[in-house]
Amino acid sequence: MNKHFDVIVAGMGIVGMAHAYAAARKGMRVLVVDTDHQASGASVRNFGFITVTGQEEGKPWQYARRSVDIWRSVARQASIQIDQTGACFVAKCKESSDLLQAYARSKSGEDCSILGKNELQDMCGGNFSEEIEKALYSPHELRVNPREAIPTMRQWLTHHLGVAFQTSTHVNRIGKGRVETTQGTLHAERIYLCMGDRLGEICPEIWQKRKLQICSLQMLKLSPPGIRLPFPVLSDLSLIRYPGFADMQEAKALSDVMERKFAVHLKHGIHLIIVQDQDGSLIIGDSHAYGDQALPFQSEQVDKLLLSTFRALLPGVEAEVCERWMGSYVCAKDGIAFSEEINEGVYAIEITTGAGMSLAFGFAEEVLNHSI
């Protein structure tokens, strides 16, 4: 194999893929290297939920809007199935209902609409709890199955944009124009390190300087319960996690209620997102535990809390757990993403909000525009 490229990307998760895509679109000769034989990190363990509504106003929201456009285009060309479109945030109390209505009136709420209980029930086959007051429908979102989307994207980048992939190749060390791997040394003008929660192994100084942490999450897959949700659904616990909602003045009253009613859920960082695969299975999650490394052990208490939150929202729906897994991503106290030049032409890249599927394409486009 040729060992000299214009661009080498380390990591074939969504952040690496997005950088490879942006570089290839600029006509660069691109190589992606990864330790694994096939992607198995956060990018295939997530919901596949590409969100706009709820992202922080300003840059994050703009990256998300741009990412959705790129996802649509890539999905069409690469034949990646879009399982669901839009998203619905449901309110089970007056405080969340007030927050959703305020959001719909705000600039970020453009094109969103408020649904009454009956409208929501009509759209989703009458499965929701009678306690629901209102819901916010956002038309912007997409949902893909990440386990299919990421490998399909790899095939498409290879065959249609000429991106080379070298897997089972661990990056050990980086220097200007040089990537030292377990399979020998590779050379490129630009090097983008998109190694997710393992970036600290190559760039410990970045990890320490930025005080990065790892967030571990629990996820569940439920066997097809015979319902069809046209869009991903989020509970009102999600409203105090997503900054686009949580930063609003109306969120304070909701936080107070949630802290009183759901103290245990909040202790585990639990909120509820429900997405649906083509075969009808539901993916539900998640929880958030922060620390210096990914947690290997799954808590039964957290799984039970996730399931009870799900059942409280969709009370008549019978579904068995068929898979459980953990995932992890990098988080920072400040900012949503960074690209830091650590050596001439070598960039350490990270999306630090747990929204890599939603932001990576927009962010990578900007990184490439500034670095090439």
Contact 254, 96 (CB under 8 A): yes
- Rounded to a whole number of angstroms, the minimum distance from the CB of residue 110 to ligand FAD is 20
The candidate with the shortest Cα–Cα distance to 156, out of 70, 250, 218, is 70
Helix, coil or strand: residue 202: helix
Contact 206, 342 (CB under 8 A): yes
CA-to-CA distance for 228 and 172, rounded, in angstroms? 46
The candidate with the shortest Cα–Cα distance to 268, out of 298, 284, 294, 289, is 289
Nearer to ligand FAD, 59 or 170 (CB): 170
- Rounded to a whole number of angstroms, the minimum distance from the CB of residue 105 to ligand FAD is 25
- Rounded to a whole number of angstroms, the minimum distance from the CB of residue 199 to ligand FAD is 7
Between the alpha carbon of residue 135 and those of residues 89, 111, 273, 324, the distances in Å are 5, 14, 14, 29
Element (H, E) at 372: none
Nearer to ligand FAD, 109 or 356 (CB): 356
The candidate with the shortest Cα–Cα distance to 347, out of 12, 47, 16, 117, is 16
Q: Tokens at residue 287, please?
A: 């929880």
Nearer to ligand FAD, 354 or 362 (CB): 354
Nearer to ligand FAD, 124 or 153 (CB): 153
Nearer to ligand FAD, 128 or 329 (CB): 329
Nearer to ligand FAD, 202 or 270 (CB): 202
Q: Interface residues with ligand FAD (CB under 6 A)?
A: 10-16, 33-36, 39, 41-43, 45-49, 170-171, 194-198, 201-202, 217, 219, 285-286, 327-329, 351, 354-358
- Rounded to a whole number of angstroms, the minimum distance from the CB of residue 167 to ligand FAD is 9
- Rounded to a whole number of angstroms, the minimum distance from the CB of residue 286 to ligand FAD is 5
CA-to-CA distance for 102 and 40, rounded, in angstroms? 39
Nearer to ligand FAD, 44 or 115 (CB): 44
- Rounded to a whole number of angstroms, the minimum distance from the CB of residue 130 to ligand FAD is 28
- Rounded to a whole number of angstroms, the minimum distance from the CB of residue 172 to ligand FAD is 7
Contact 90, 135 (CB under 8 A): yes
Element (H, E) at 6: strand 4-10
Give how far the C-alpha of residue 357 lies from the chain's centroid of Cα atoms, to the nearest Å.
4
